[in-house]
Each structure stands twice: as C-alpha cells, then as structure tokens.
Homo-oligomer: A and B are copies of this chain.
C-alpha cells in the first residue's frame, strides 16, 4: 500500500499521518515553533539532507501548513512561516515533547 493512499482514510489520525507522519516533517515543524524559518536553518537544526528539506517544505506549503514569504527582493529569497493551520499543530508537538521528556531522558551530558 502506498503511503499517500492514507489521505482519504476514514481515520483522522491516519489522514494526519499521511501528511506529517514521515521522519523529518515533524522535526521541521518543531523548528518552526522554535523560531526557524529559513532553508539553511532547517538543514542545520534537523540534520536532514538538503534534498529532503526541499521536498518536505514543498509538501508543507502545498498542504497550507507553511507559507512561503519573500524576505528579500534582490536576490529573491524566501522564508517559511507557519499558517494558522500550522500553528494549530502545536498541541501535538507539545504532547510529543512531554512524552519524550518523561519517558526518554537523555543518558549522557547533552551537547547543544
């Protein structure tokens, strides 16, 4: 079964996962909530390849979760900002954060 076939699934959890349920998308959204908005920030902060970031940003914009906004005319440069639809995803990320804090403590001293 192809993953994208879940987008019309009866279950709203499945539909949500068809959009953001891959490995990097939620990490990009986390980054947005922490204040990132530019391509290279996403690359640096998530650790994903440029290719992946490029692809995932496209999907997120297409889905109306992020919006591409020009922040420089010459050269043309864009940044990605959360839409209302995207901002409403915060409860999910907070739930992930809380669960991780409680159940997956870091063992060794974490470095930045």
Query: A-side interface residues toward B, CB under 8 Å?
Result: 1, 3, 5-17, 19, 21-23, 26-27, 30, 47-49, 85, 88-89, 91-104, 106-108, 110-112
Cα separation A13 to B34 with both chains bound (whole Å): 12
- Indicate whether A13 sits within 8 Å of B97 (C-beta atoms), given known contacts A8-B108, A22-B23, A108-B8: yes
Task: Tell whether, in the assembled complex, residue A22 and residue B22 are in contact, meaning their CB atoms are under 8 Å apart.
Answer: yes
Cα separation A107 to B10 with both chains bound (whole Å): 10
Nearest neighbor of A14 in chain B, beta-carbon distance: B27
Q: This chain: how many copies in the complex?
A: 2
- Indicate whether A95 sits within 8 Å of B91 (C-beta atoms), given known contacts A13-B26, A17-B27: yes
Cα separation A82 to B14 with both chains bound (whole Å): 19
